[in-house]
Structure formats: structure tokens, C-alpha cells
Amino acid sequence: MLTVKNLIEKGNMTVLVDGDEPEREITGCYCGDLLSWVMSRAQSGDAWLTVMGNVNAIGVAALADTACIILTENAAFDENANLRAQQNGITVLQTEKNTYETAVLINSLLNG
């Protein structure tokens, strides 16, 4: 089982916001930056990979019930988004890897 905490450790992720559920299971992965698309397609429990580090992304993560948000390629994370993520208990991580590399890593951890 892959948890948010395991992903942080094994994926060498930077924690931008500690969410409320470090032991939450990650059941899949969704890659996307078009928020309306993600909102209608991401599954509950997915790790969401994006470069959108704004307050609207936090709202989408909450609605889609993703396990965490991972900002790839060291994408910027604005202060309003940080505050909203803290208020909603959403884990936000950051990695220097691109979306493809991060998705491959998550896939290997899920199926390893």
C-alpha cells in the first residue's frame, strides 16, 4: 500500500503543506493542468500531478478528493493557495521532476 507519507519518503518530495491525512492511501495518479478537466476526471485517492499552484487548484483537489497535490517541475505555489490548503487539510508536495517522471515513479511504487 502506498500512502502519502511513503510517497514523500520514497519520492524525495518537498512538503509544502502537511495535510490532515499522512497515512491516506494513494490508489492512483492523475496528471492534468486544466482544472475543469481534472475536476470531472480525477478519482478519489489519486495523487494529482500539476503545475497549477493556485487557490483554484486547492478547490479542485478538495472537490475531487485527491490524496494529495504534487507540483511538478518545482512549480510555484502562491500564498493564497498555501493558506487554503492548510485550512482544508490538503497535502501539497513539490518535486523537481517533470510530470512524466513523477507519474512513472508513482506507478512503480503502486505496482512495485
What tens digit of pLDDT does each residue of 77-107 get? Answer: 999 999 999 999 999 999 999 999 999 999 9
Phi and psi at residue 74, in whole multiples of 5°?
A: 50, 40
Domain count, the chain: 1
User: What's the predicted TM-score (pTM) here?
Assistant: 0.96
Phi-psi region of 74 (alpha: psi -120 to 50; beta: other; left: phi over 0): left
Residue matched to cell numbers 505496482: 111
Which residues touch 88 (CB under 8 Å, ≥6 apart)?
A: 58, 62
pLDDT-above-70 percentage for the chain: 100
Q: What gap in Å lies between CA 76 and CA 52, rounded to an integer?
A: 8
Distance between CA 15 and CA 1 in Å, rounded? 20
**Structural domain boundaries, residue 42:** 4-111
CATH number of residue 13's parent domain: 3.40.1390.20
